């Protein structure tokens, strides 16, 4: 492991700090981008956060951003000139988009997804495409066809997943902000494992057009950042009403950072006891209890509550998400794009061969689970039942938010585990998502912030808000961040 | 629940259009049986009269204005095809 470089203040600065340096003419976007590209070259052999780095495009974007920052053309935004990463399940025009799957290697999309378009319009500098679990299916980034991502805090450990490249990249200073997707915790859990901020907004706030679909009723794009303020800024840029996504919600959109300084004094915050699961790491539990004390010291009213259906959330999720995935991934037929295999006699045999060769084990497992749950004779017992329990889980949250402004939980029952530790036991891997999954089932906003350390590894603290309570979770998370210094810890890399 | 049989796995593979090796099929059978076993407790939840939730937002069918917009060019549409013949995508025979 390398020692902390002299430039670490720069690499670990927040996007707001970098933006202020642009305004003060201390550094240009081109200089910042070149510096980050050098750091990416130096760190990638040990981290593997990126699948594709688009250096030339990034420099060209930065040149445009510098002109905009100097006052020519459009008014700059909070992200103008800021080097960012997007997860490789975001469709990017003319840049290979793989979802970390062999079935899409070499696929060059003819269009940008809405979030990528919004980032370009805002003047952000896109450095490249972040590594992920194949089709975002995984909690450790080990299912990527491009190899695992290594956690910058300990490269023998996973960064979490599925947005593992995004979290590792932000933690290691390989970008200033990353954009990931979260279907059952895929932004928040890796953010927790890598000691950065990660937010899953309310379902519908950010367009999914151009996000390679996994579980369409659960998927949501969100930012991974080094501060809560950067998270609010980034959400302000990427949230939109999009006619190309029928689940996209209508405006008006608020400034998600408008209450960021309001604090938590007098706020009622519930602690659902079911999230403190058996088998939770002692270090995670201790960090969580210390965080509750911090929130109390800040004037929040903390009380225990119960969400008994949490015990069924894992089953609901692992029926609904694979069911939706099995339908969404039926488009990969080896005909119009992606891997083609032509040793079969018929079109159907060619498709079976392409899918058999192109999908990895975890993706196949989920397609099989979903296909089974949707098949004749099992639909009512699995898929319909899960959707009904989903209704009850939503009601349980709705009732809880009559009493509480927000809920607080650990983000994950463990810290980052060793690469290889859980990959052979799918159910153990699924259990890792227990604290994040219920939020997607109910479509709620949730943010994970650095909330302590355990044996040298970051612990995440998760705030959950009511539907469209995105400003509330940002407000609570920011108050916690101001009172602690966990977010100022950086890996020695 | 009863363990899945090799025939069950074969049936799902056909529905999903995924070819598995014999070894993959047996692993899949064991893992799916294990995972589904963990989900059996769902049947204990009383859901009588409960409406299923598909989406958490009120999503109705959204119709855009019926106005033509520029489509992708033929070249853009075809450039990713794994097997192409001029302006066509080549596929294997649909019927044996």
Structural tokens at position B45: 């939840």
As a three-state string, the secondary structure of B14-79 is HHHCCCCCHHHHHHHHHHHHHHHHHCHHHHHCCCCCCCCCCCCCCCCCCCCCCCCCCCCCHHHHHC
Q: Is the ipTM of this complex over 0.90?
A: yes
Least confident range from A83-92, A139-148, A338-347, A355-364: namely A338-347
Contact A110 B79 (CB under 8 A): yes
The catalytic residues of A are 87, 162, 186
Chain A 97-126, CB below 8 Å of chain B: which residues?
106-108, 110-111
Q: Report the pLDDT averaged over residues A457-485.
A: 97
- Please count the structural domains in chain B: 1
Structural tokens at position A14: 């927040």
Contact A375 B19 (CB under 8 A): no
Q: Is B92 among the domain residues?
A: no
| Three-state SS at A357 | helix
Distance from CA of A141 to the nearest CA of B (A): 20
Half-sphere exposure of A121 (CA within 13 A, CB side): 11
Measured between its terminal Cα atoms, the distance across chain B in Å is 38
Q: Is the confidence at residue B77, as pLDDT, over 70? A: yes
Q: Is B4 among the domain residues?
A: yes
How far does CA A439 lie from the centroid of its chain?
13
- pLDDT tens for residues A206-218? 999 999 999 999 9
Q: Is B65 among the domain residues?
A: no
Among the listed residues A435, A419, A108, A40, the one whose alpha carbon sits nearest the alpha carbon of residue A274: A435
Q: Sort out which chain B residues have CB atoms less than 8 A from A107's CB and list them.
A: 80
Among the listed residues A205, A274, A283, the one whose alpha carbon sits nearest the alpha carbon of residue A458: A283
Distance from CA of A9 to the nearest CA of B (A): 42
Q: Is B89 on the interface with A (CB under 8 A)?
A: yes
Q: Is B26 among the domain residues?
A: yes
Nearest residue of A to residue B35, measured between CA atoms: A427
Least confident range from A277-281, A456-460, B58-62: namely B58-62
Q: Is B14 among the domain residues?
A: yes
Query: What phi and psi, each to the nearest 5 degrees, are found at residue A128?
Result: 160, -165
Assign residue B28 the CATH number of its domain: 1.10.20.60
Q: Is B56 among the domain residues?
A: no
Q: Which domains does chain A have, with CATH numbers?
A: 1-493 (3.90.1300.10)
**Per-residue confidence at A3, pLDDT binned at 50, 70, 90?**
very low
Q: Report the pLDDT averaged over residues A295-321.
A: 97
Candidate from B41, B50, B79 with C-beta closest to A388: B50
- pLDDT tens for residues A353-369? 999 999 999 999 999 99
Q: Is B32 on the interface with A (CB under 8 A)?
A: yes
**Per-residue confidence at A2, pLDDT binned at 50, 70, 90?**
very low
Contact A353 B19 (CB under 8 A): yes
Nearest residue of A to residue B9, measured between CA atoms: A368
Contact A346 B96 (CB under 8 A): yes
Nearest residue of A to residue B16, measured between CA atoms: A371
Q: Which domain holds residue B15?
A: 1-42
Q: Report the pLDDT averaged over residues A18-33.
A: 97
Distance CA A232, CA A260 (A): 9
């Amino acid at each position: 492991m390398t020692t902390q470089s002299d430039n670490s203040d720069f690499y670990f600065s927040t996007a707001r700090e970098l933006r202020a340096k642009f305004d003060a003419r201390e550094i240009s976007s081109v200089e910042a981008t070149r510096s980050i590209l050098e750091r990416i070259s130096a760190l990638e052999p040990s981290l593997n956060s990126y699948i594709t780095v688009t250096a030339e495009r990034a420099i060209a974007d930065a040149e445009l951003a510098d002109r905009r920052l100097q006052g020519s053309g459009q008014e700059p935004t909070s992200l103008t000139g800021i080097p960012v990463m997007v997860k490789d399940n975001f469709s990017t025009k003319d840049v290979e988009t793989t979802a970390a799957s062999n079935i899409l290697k070499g696929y060059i999309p003819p269009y940008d997804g809405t979030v990528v378009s919004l980032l370009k319009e805002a003047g952000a500098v896109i450095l490249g495409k972040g590594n992920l679990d194949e089709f975002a299916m995984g909690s450790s980034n080990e299912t990527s066809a491009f190899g695992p991502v290594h956690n910058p805090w300990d490269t023998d450990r996973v960064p979490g997943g599925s947005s593992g490249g995004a979290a590792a990249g932000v933690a290691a200073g390989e970008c200033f902000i990353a954009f990931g997707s979260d279907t059952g915790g895929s932004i928040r859990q890796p953010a927790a494992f890598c000691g950065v901020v990660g937010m899953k907004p309310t379902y519908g706030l950010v367009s999914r057009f151009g996000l390679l679909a996994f579980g369409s009723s659960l998927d949501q794009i969100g930012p991974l950042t080094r501060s809560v303020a950067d998270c609010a800024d980034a959400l302000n840029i990427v949230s939109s009403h999009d006619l190309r996504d029928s689940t996209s919600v209508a405006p008006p959109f608020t400034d998600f950072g408008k209450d960021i300084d309001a604090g938590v004094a007098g706020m009622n915050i519930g602690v659902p006891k079911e999230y403190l699961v058996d088998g939770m790491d002692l270090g995670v539990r201790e960090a969580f209890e210390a965080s509750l004390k911090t929130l109390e010291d800040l004037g929040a009213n903390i009380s225990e509550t119960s969400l008994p259906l949490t015990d069924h959330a894992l089953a609901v999720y692992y029926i609904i998400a694979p069911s939706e995935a099995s339908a969404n991934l039926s488009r990969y037929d080896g005909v119009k794009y992606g891997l083609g295999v032509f040793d079969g006699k018929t079109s159907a045999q060619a498709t079976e061969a392409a899918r058999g060769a192109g999908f990895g084990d975890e993706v196949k497992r989920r397609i099989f689970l979903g296909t089974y749950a949707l098949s004749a004779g099992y639909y009512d017992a699995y898929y319909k039942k899960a959707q009904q329990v989903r209704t009850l889980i939503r009601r349980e949250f709705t009732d809880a938010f009559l009493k509480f402004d927000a809920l607080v939980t650990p983000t994950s029952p463990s810290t980052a585990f060793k690469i290889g530790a859980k990959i052979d036991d799918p159910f153990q891997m699924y259990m890792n998502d227990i604290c994040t999954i219920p939020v997607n089932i109910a479509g709620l906003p949730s943010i994970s912030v650095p909330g302590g350390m355990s044996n040298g590894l970051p612990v995440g603290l998760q705030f959950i808000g009511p539907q469209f309570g995105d400003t509330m979770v940002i407000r609570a998370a920011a108050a916690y961040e101001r009172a602690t210094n966990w977010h100022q810890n950086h890996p020695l890399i | 629940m009863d363990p899945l049989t090799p025939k069950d796995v074969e049936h799902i593979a056909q529905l999903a259009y995924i070819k598995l090796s014999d070894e993959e099929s047996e692993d899949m059978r064991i893992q799916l049986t294990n995972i589904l076993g963990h989900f059996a407790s769902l049947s204990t939840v009383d859901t009588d009269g409960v409406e299923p939730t598909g989406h958490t937002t009120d999503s109705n069918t959204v119709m855009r204005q019926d106005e033509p917009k520029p489509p992708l060019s033929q070249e853009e549409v075809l450039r990713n095809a794994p097997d192409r013949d001029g302006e066509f995508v080549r596929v294997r025979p649909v019927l044996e």
